[in-house]
Structure 1
Amino acid sequence: MGVDPNAQIHPSAIVEDGAEIGAGACVGPFSVIGPKVTLAPGVEVKSHVVVTGLTEIGEETVIFPFANIGDVPQDLKYRGEETRLVVGKRNRIREGVTMNTGTEGGGGVTRVGDDCLFMTGAHVAHDAQVGDRVIMVNNSALAGHCVIGDDVIIGGLSGIHQWVRIGHGAIIGAVTMVTNDVIPFGLVQGPRGVLDGLNLVGLKRRGVDRADISALRAAFKVLADGDGTFQDKARKLAEETDSPYVREMVEFVMADSDRSFLTP
């Protein structure tokens, strides 16, 4: 594809040979686009941005100044193998954000979904898998191999430990360290993250039916107060519920993971 004739490249920008720039994409002053980068149509790269590595940026994504996107992993096991970063459509990547490519040992691809917001200074590490409509607030960070579900919010100055999974619709409070998996729709807060309830505000904002919210609240009570292990209680819920939201929670708990769970 090369550089589309309808792309707008500022004279001071550096677009290396081999880069692919789609129609209507813009590259601002003093930005650098590496030779293996693909910018889809409508991407806007503002001034003083570096996009490098084997990196794909989806349509209409906007990258703000001083972001570094697609550089090598911050992992001492990395030995220069060619790995990728794939960023979806309509993302907003604000000032100073960093996103790294994957590693051979982690599958080789760091992936970000669509319609996400990464606020100033956020970091997405190697091999992370980030869903759609995720919000990472200022100076929050994902370590390597994290899996972040759709509609997750991660508060400012929070850190997510490597290999942690955060389920769909969960919210992490500000200044929180999360070291274990978080169930879908969970609310985590405190310096050492504690599962402190459900993200009821988020559920209501998304228009989830009141009956499903009531079912989730009942399920959370079973997980908090019922007999047996966390997985035993989840199996019991699977046998008793008709709510698709509770089933999603149960399936998350029963799935394979390298971490244990934050429990109520």
Structure 2
Amino acid sequence: MSISSSAQIGHHCLIESGAMIGAHVRIGPFCTIAAGVDIGDGTVVGSHSVINGLTRLGRDNMIGPYSSIGEVNQDLKYANEATGVVIGDRNRIGKHATIHRGTLQGNGHTVIGHDNHFLNDVHIGHDCLIGDATVMGDHSGLAGHVNIDEGAQLGLMCAVHQFCIVGAHAQIADQSCVVQDVPPFVCAIGNRAFPFGFNRLSPVFLAANIHQQQVIRTLYDRMYHQGIPVEEVKKAARQLASEYPLVAFFHAFFSRSTRGIIR
């Protein structure tokens, strides 16, 4: 066990031998930190939280009270293998969060990037891959093996089916259920989720020049207004990706999409 001298540990915490607690970490009372957990500098863990498994937290994260991170997942094939959770820097995770460890059949780790904002009562299932600067609203949940790409936003009480991809800078409306892949910049709503426009308010879209914005609009029109086969849209995205950086999000999305896209 290694606990920095500058760390602040609340009353009645249980920190097992083998845990690593970085500088200026603050852990609230009644927390349990298991052996194999590594908490980076400046991270704050709210009271009554449990961090388990081979979990690595980066710097300056904020974990809300009563959260469970790195606990055994709900995959029935899981047999207590050495898997874990990797969380980057500057993430804000609300109270009552549950983030499950990965499986050997998946990535081995559930991975969360940097600068994400997850509100209260979110659930992130095993082997999920979450990029940077995403948002998940209250009571939203991800099944196992879900990919949420950078800048994507999920409203409150959303559900995403296992193995789905929510593309970069896509936006999922409140109380929606996603059962197929959502392309980048697409707005989706409903149960089951369907497209209702593109995310023209995305900061990345607004910062792009008029030519890139028009290309995104054209790709959306081809997918949803002109009835062009998806394979042709994929080909166009592949050809345009080197010239237009935003189109690279589409090319990366199509290269991984296996469940079909929302229609």
TM-score norm. by structure 1 comes to 0.93
Give 2:101's aligned amino acid: T
Give 1:188's aligned amino acid: A
Distance 1:94 1:227, change over 3 A: closer
CA distance in 1 between counterparts of 2:237 and 2:73 reads 40
Deviation string for 1:119-151 (max 9, x for gaps)? 101011000000001111001011100111101
8 A contact 1:226–1:233 mirrored in 2: no
Distance 1:22 1:236, change over 3 A: closer
Structure 1 residue 208 corresponds to structure 2 residue 208:
yes
What is the percentage of aligned positions where both structures have the same residue? 32
Give 1:252's aligned amino acid: F
Q: Secondary structure at the match of 1:104?
A: coil
Distance 1:166 1:85, change over 3 A: same
For residue 96 of structure 2, what is the aligned residue in structure 1?
96
**Runs of 4+ displaced beyond 3 Å:** 203-206, 225-228, 236-242
For residue 52 of structure 1, what is the aligned residue in structure 2?
52
Give 2:250's aligned amino acid: M
Distance 1:50 1:226, change over 3 A: same
Deviation string for 1:131-177 (max 9, x for gaps)? 00111100101110011110110111110110011111111111111
CA distance in 1 between counterparts of 2:206 and 2:44 reads 29
For residue 161 of structure 2, what is the aligned residue in structure 1?
161
CA distance in 2 between counterparts of 1:37 and 1:206 reads 40
Q: What is the correspondence of 1:103-142 to structure 2 with a 5 Å cutoff?
A: 103-142=103-142
Distance 1:237 1:150, change over 3 A: closer
Q: What is the correspondence of 1:174-193 to structure 2 with a 5 Å cutoff?
A: 174-193=174-193
Shift of 1:206: 5.2
Distance 1:182 1:109, change over 3 A: same
Quick check: 234-243 or 31-40, which moved more?
A: 234-243
Q: What is the correspondence of 1:27-106 to structure 2 with a 5 Å cutoff?
A: 27-106=27-106
8 A contact 2:219–2:233 mirrored in 1: no
CA distance in 2 between counterparts of 1:245 and 1:118 reads 25
Query: Structure 1: which 5+ runs fail to align?
Result: none
8 A contact 1:50–1:69 mirrored in 2: yes
8 A contact 2:26–2:44 mirrored in 1: yes
Distance 1:163 1:207, change over 3 A: same
8 A contact 1:223–1:234 mirrored in 2: no
Q: Secondary structure at the match of 1:144?
A: coil
TM-score norm. by structure 2 comes to 0.94
Give 1:129's aligned amino acid: L
CA distance in 1 between counterparts of 2:23 and 2:186 reads 41
For residue 246 of structure 1, what is the aligned residue in structure 2?
247
Shift of 1:47: 1.0
8 A contact 2:20–2:38 mirrored in 1: yes
CA distance in 1 between counterparts of 2:194 and 2:246 reads 21
CA distance in 1 between counterparts of 2:204 and 2:245 reads 16
Give 1:180's aligned amino acid: Q
Query: Structure 2: which 5+ runs fail to align?
Result: none
- Superposition CA RMSD, Å: 1.7
Shift of 1:256: 3.4
Quick check: 97-106 or 45-54, which moved more?
A: 45-54
8 A contact 2:200–2:206 mirrored in 1: no
CA distance in 2 between counterparts of 1:14 and 1:238 reads 52
Quick check: 59-68 or 244-253, which moved more?
A: 244-253
For residue 257 of structure 2, what is the aligned residue in structure 1?
257
8 A contact 1:116–1:135 mirrored in 2: yes
